[in-house]
Structure 1
């Protein structure tokens, strides 16, 4: 593995006597898209705010290409583009004038050709000269992404970048982010409540719960870990099937119309089907569902909803 683009080292946040972020350690590599997930109140947004210098770090540090957010803030943050929560723009100015304004604040400036390129890449050509107050939430997200890219950062830190986008917009942003990572080597750290999008887009994922990092792994390893699988059984009668599953296999099931869903080890599947048939239950269909990131997330975090 090459040298890390971002190193999060013992990152800790205390407010009074309460520790809300508890010694996070992980690395992100050049060209990697890293997903960051957590239930409501887990500390995801606080972590992101510390990573970009918006919230003071109590202990630990964040290193961006060798530069410390705590000790070399200007040098470190110069390599970062970020959307944290909802992007803030001047609503009574056009999108274009907003970008010009931020371009003027960028060290060395940004020429108009570069602005036009970013406008095209983020799909804002048709609205860029309209006032931001007329933009939908999805359009403001695109404008925020355009602003984050003005100074050609090496690292993108994005909090809910597809918030408010329709499926077509989500697909476009996903394709754009993947292109930035794969072709330009941009390092992308992304939080999202859309687990299916994280599963498609990200190389690795980290999960935070109660301020602690409980897992960091590649998406494929994470989703395919373990031997448990979910099976969907279409059968009749439901009540007798539930009794067999409870008594013979100590399994509870979720019932949906004529289907029941059971989580169990793969080797149990033929045993379950045989037992059901032996007890006179008509089994019409057996479907083994692939585990998803959402399945694994809920197993690890309980019933929490995504932040």
Structure 2
């Protein structure tokens, strides 16, 4: 695990008399993609605004690179980039003019800006002949990310980057983000509702519900917790009858060609071996992977009940 990048401890935030965030504890590490998930109004964007120093915490604290986020030095501010869903581009300017303007505010020289801009435009396959006001949603998303990558930040923070994108643009964006993280070591924090896309690239998942953290786990742990298996065979009815007689196995459903079943791991350690010992002729056998969507649904249900 890499060095610590973002940390919040006992973070509370009150806005207009409402307790928006409640004892938020978050830690992210370098070279990883962290997904921040939760329903609308859960507190994701407010958390990001505290992390980046836009909101002062009511109590508790936030830090990036070990420095308090609120009143952060310009030196550390230049070490991260942030893209909010609402944009922040000047529509009457070209892509180059937008990037030049914002990069100049960070103190970069024009030659260096141009060099990195040209490389990133090619990297993201962005067409730059139009004024930004005529860009599609996907093109604007690409440009905002390019704008924040020109100064080569160690941390990139994205708030709903997949909003309004068509399927091709979503695939392109998530692949490029994964590439940036793996190839350049850029740490990424993404707030998004697109659980399918997040599952493709995230290393860590943090879930917020009604202003509280209700889950903070590695994605690998989340998608590997299922004890459901699928076996394909010639006679599923016979297989079902055999499985129903094995202690520790529960049949979930079946078709003409396959049977899905659950295993009590404390009873059965090697389900494939058990099936073969019972004379089941197996064509295919694999463990069903849990999805991030399944995890979100069950975690939210538990949070609501509590």
Q: TM-score of the superposition, structure 1-length normalised?
A: 0.77
| Contact 2:39–2:193 under 8 Å retained in 1 | no
Deviation, structure 1 residue 230:
8.6
Match of 2:182 in 1: 182
Paired with 1:289 and 1:146, the residues of 2 have a C-alpha distance of 38
Mean CA deviation greater in 183-192 or 68-77: 68-77
1:220 corresponding residue in structure 2: 220
The 5-angstrom pairing of residues 25-64 of structure 1 reads 25-64=25-64
Cα distance, 1:88 vs structure 2: 1.8
**1:14 maps to 2:14:** yes
Instruction: Show the 5 A alignment for 1:152-231.
Output: 152-225=152-225, 229=228
Could you say what secondary structure the match of 1:97 adopts? helix
Contact 1:141 1:163 (C-alpha < 8 Å) held by counterparts: no
Q: Which runs of 5+ in 1 are unaligned?
A: 233-250, 255-260, 270-285
Is 1:207–1:216's contact at 8 Å kept on the other side of the alignment?
A: yes
Counterpart position of 1:244? none
Report the counterpart of residue 302 of structure 1 in structure 2.
301
| Cα distance in 1 between the residues matched to 2:10 and 2:57 | 10
Question: What aligned pairs does 1:41-190 form with structure 2 within 5 A after superposition?
Answer: 41-110=41-110, 111-124=113-126, 127-190=127-190
Q: 1:241-288: per-residue Cα shift (whole Å, max 9, x none)?
A: xxxxxxxxxx9x99xxxxxx9989687x9xxxxxxxxxxxxxxxx997
Tell me how far apart the structure 2 counterparts of residues 134 and 263 of structure 1 sit (CA, whole Å): 53
CA distance in 1 between partners of 2:40 and 2:227 (Å): 27
Which residue does the alignment assign to 1:280?
none
RMSD: 3.8
For 2:99 and 2:70, the matched residues in 1 are separated by 28
Report the Cα distance in structure 2 between the residues aligned to 1:73 and 1:16, rounded to whole angstroms. 28
* 1:33 CA displacement: 0.6
C-alpha deviation, 1:169, in angstroms? 2.1
The higher relative CO (CA closer than 8 Å, separation ≥ 6) is in 1
* Alpha carbons 1:21, 1:43 under 8 Å: kept: yes
Closer, same or farther in 2 for the Cα pair 1:173/1:10, shift >3 Å?
A: same
Q: Deviations over 1:78-121 (max 9, x none)?
A: 21101112322111222122112222222233531111112112
* Unpaired segments ≥5 residues, structure 2: 232-249, 254-259, 272-284
- Secondary structure at the aligned position of 1:56 is classed as coil
Give a deviation string over 1:43-83, Cα, whole Å, max 9, x none: 11111111122223212222211222124343332211011
Question: Counterpart of 1:248?
Answer: none
Cα distance per residue 1:8-37 (max 9 Å; x no partner): 222221125532101111211111111110
Instruction: Please give the secondary structure, in 1, of the residue aligned with 2:4.
Output: coil
Measured at CA, do residues 77 and 55 of structure 1 come closer, stay the same or move farther in structure 2, by a change above 3 Å?
same
Aligned length: 287
Specify whether residues 288 and 185 from structure 1 end up closer, same or farther in structure 2 by C-alpha distance, changes over 3 A only. closer
